A and B are shown apart, each in its own frame.
Chain A
């Protein structure tokens, strides 16, 4: 604009002609585009072009230059929409388990449960089991998917996970959501004291290969405190199809 004012002092008629040309240019840019020219002027106004910007390399970059087909498309009046990034076909499904099937063929509802003061909460209904909400989803590449359930209750009798007392290495267990399913094969069933479960923490480890860890209570029964002294920990590895 400073240049423009300089022109005005020379001859008022020139201003009209210049204005006309500028307007025509602006209209042309918005429809048919001389984007290189506008971009270059924009840059020189805002900041001087960086002279150190690796001229050797930028020349190897296939920027739009020269009368090629691609020039026509990139510099055309209708810019193309951006490409949509897609998900690779090898994507694995991961899901919060909503039900679990044990070797008996019976299923139980799985409810997400938090840890409160160090104690993993368990659904009140002993026919349901609880998925620790900080543990791995079914199908994650790392960490244990931890599901705990009642072995029994004084008021409701035997719980769904009483079946774990009978489980054997090699048995199959399936986790499901509304749309997904993943099967695991039992590799171990170990009785460990509740103190060891707390200090060891391995059952809850979120590192290492993905696995399913099922926990219930067993071992010595202490009627005076109505509690078992141990946990039964069942570990199962995903079955690769």
Chain B
């Protein structure tokens, strides 16, 4: 149920590969649980918690009931099934201090990520942003990749293999693309610029047949930039790659080309 990606920024560059590997195993279990709980209560809303606050260990309660404890930066907890309606969320740090207190309107049969994170305004308290999970299916060899900006940086471009694929994303915004499953080199730069590189480059492995939610978290000024990754299995769509396309039983293609050639000559 609980997955944790290593938090240290510098170390992250080296360990991201293995961290994602460990992450996969964790989410597989989470997905099964999600399916079970969905079957048990069709109407319930599914919540995932993402700890995007650097240097803090967070406990989370829903309607006063503790649902997550000791969440390290970049860790993800869920799925948590809740009844539809207004739910109270409280985020407290290891010292017992209230970090954020919010309400969320949990909708029946919905799935969303609740992310605790910094804003771009220095000194402002952390906020909680809800991102809806788009559970539209993909072919098994493709990945739905959503990159969200929840870091203390101005609007940014996210480059994939050196090319801007996610342009001008501001704090609290996300972008979705469907890409081939595999490994990509990802870095973050200010919108329209090629430097300074705010984060990365890191190797990001995106899983086929899944929604891969990647959150850019932290504060470059405090050297706490990092990513939190949340993977949810999706229904499989599409069929296998064809080896044969058979599209003619008339035998007229040669005639068509002949007539076309004559017409071209005619027109000069």
* Interface status of A114 (Cβ within 8 A of chain B): yes
A82 touches B103 (CB 8 A): yes
Of residues 37 through 95 on chain B, the ones whose CB sits less than 8 Å from some CB of chain A are 53-57, 59, 61, 66, 69-70, 88-90, 92-95
A88-B169 CB under 8 A given contacts A39-B90, A83-B129, A226-B251 = yes
Q: Per-residue 0/1 for B211-247: is the Cβ within 8 Å of any A Cβ (1 yes, 0 no)?
A: 0000000000010100000000000011111111111
* Interface status of A206 (Cβ within 8 A of chain B): yes
A204 touches B242 (CB 8 A): yes
**Residue in contact with A165 in the complex, picked from B165, B179, B257, CB distance below 8 Å:** B257
**Residue in contact with B66 in the complex, picked from A42, A81, A90, A142, CB distance below 8 Å:** A42
Q: Per-residue 0/1 for A37-64: is the Cβ within 8 Å of any B Cβ (1 yes, 0 no)?
A: 0011011101101100110111011111
Contacts of B148 in A (CB 8 A): 85
Interface size for B (C-beta < 8 A) is 83
Contacts of B92 in A (CB 8 A): 39, 43
Contacts of B100 in A (CB 8 A): 74
Question: Within the complex, what minimum Cβ distance (angstroms) separates A136 from chain B?
Answer: 8
* Interface status of B126 (Cβ within 8 A of chain A): yes
Q: Chain B: which residue is nearest A217 at the CB level?
A: B248
A151-B250 CB under 8 A given contacts A39-B92, A87-B173 = yes
* Interface status of B194 (Cβ within 8 A of chain A): no
Question: Within the complex, what minimum Cβ distance (angstroms) separates B89 from chain A?
Answer: 7
Main secondary structure on A side of the interface with B: mixed
Q: Chain B: which residue is nearest A226 at the CB level?
A: B249
In whole angstroms, how far apart are the Cα atoms of A72 and B170 in the complex?
Answer: 27
Of residues 148 through 178 on chain A, the ones whose CB sits less than 8 Å from some CB of chain B are 148-154, 157-159, 161-162, 165-166
B253 touches A228 (CB 8 A): yes
A63 touches B55 (CB 8 A): no
* Interface status of A218 (Cβ within 8 A of chain B): yes
Q: Size range of the interface on A?
A: 35 or more
- Which of B100, B148, B170, B242 has the most chain A CB atoms closer than 10 A to its own CB? B242
* Interface status of A216 (Cβ within 8 A of chain B): yes
B167 touches A88 (CB 8 A): yes
**Residue in contact with B130 in the complex, picked from A84, A88, A227, CB distance below 8 Å:** A84
Contacts of A122 in B (CB 8 A): 245-247
A207-B180 CB under 8 A given contacts A60-B55, A152-B248 = yes
A141 touches B177 (CB 8 A): yes
Question: Within the complex, what minimum Cβ distance (angstroms) separates A189 from chain B?
Answer: 12
Q: Chain B: which residue is nearest A228 at the CB level?
A: B248
* Interface status of B5 (Cβ within 8 A of chain A): no
Q: Chain B: which residue is nearest A61 at the CB level?
A: B56
Question: Within the complex, what minimum Cβ distance (angstroms) separates A64 from chain B?
Answer: 5
B129 touches A84 (CB 8 A): yes
Question: Within the complex, what minimum Cβ distance (angstroms) separates B25 from chain A?
Answer: 25
* Interface status of A11 (Cβ within 8 A of chain B): no
Q: Chain B: which residue is nearest A135 at the CB level?
A: B238
Among the stretches A2-10, A12-20, A179-187, A194-202, the one at the interface with B is A194-202
**Residue in contact with B247 in the complex, picked from A53, A57, A116, A217, CB distance below 8 Å:** A217
B252 touches A152 (CB 8 A): yes
A79 touches B101 (CB 8 A): yes
A74 touches B94 (CB 8 A): no
Contacts of B122 in A (CB 8 A): 62
* Interface status of B128 (Cβ within 8 A of chain A): yes
B250 touches A152 (CB 8 A): yes
B126 touches A62 (CB 8 A): yes
A223 touches B241 (CB 8 A): no
In whole angstroms, how far apart are the Cα atoms of A218 and B260 in the complex?
Answer: 14
In whole angstroms, how far apart are the Cα atoms of A217 and B88 in the complex?
Answer: 62
B169 touches A227 (CB 8 A): no
* Interface status of A103 (Cβ within 8 A of chain B): no
Question: Within the complex, what minimum Cβ distance (angstroms) separates A159 from chain B?
Answer: 7
Of residues 111 through 150 on chain A, the ones whose CB sits less than 8 Å from some CB of chain B are 114-116, 118-120, 122, 132-137, 140-143, 148-150
Q: Chain B: which residue is nearest A91 at the CB level?
A: B175
In whole angstroms, how far apart are the Cα atoms of A159 and B129 in the complex?
Answer: 52
In whole angstroms, how far apart are the Cα atoms of A58 and B54 in the complex?
Answer: 8
- 6 CB-based A-B contacts, threshold 8 Å: A40-B95, A62-B125, A63-B97, A82-B128, A152-B251, A198-B244
Binding site for A on B (CB under 8 A): 53-57, 59, 61, 66, 69-70, 88-90, 92-105, 114-115, 118, 122-132, 139, 141-142, 148, 165-170, 172-180, 222, 224, 237-254, 256-257, 260
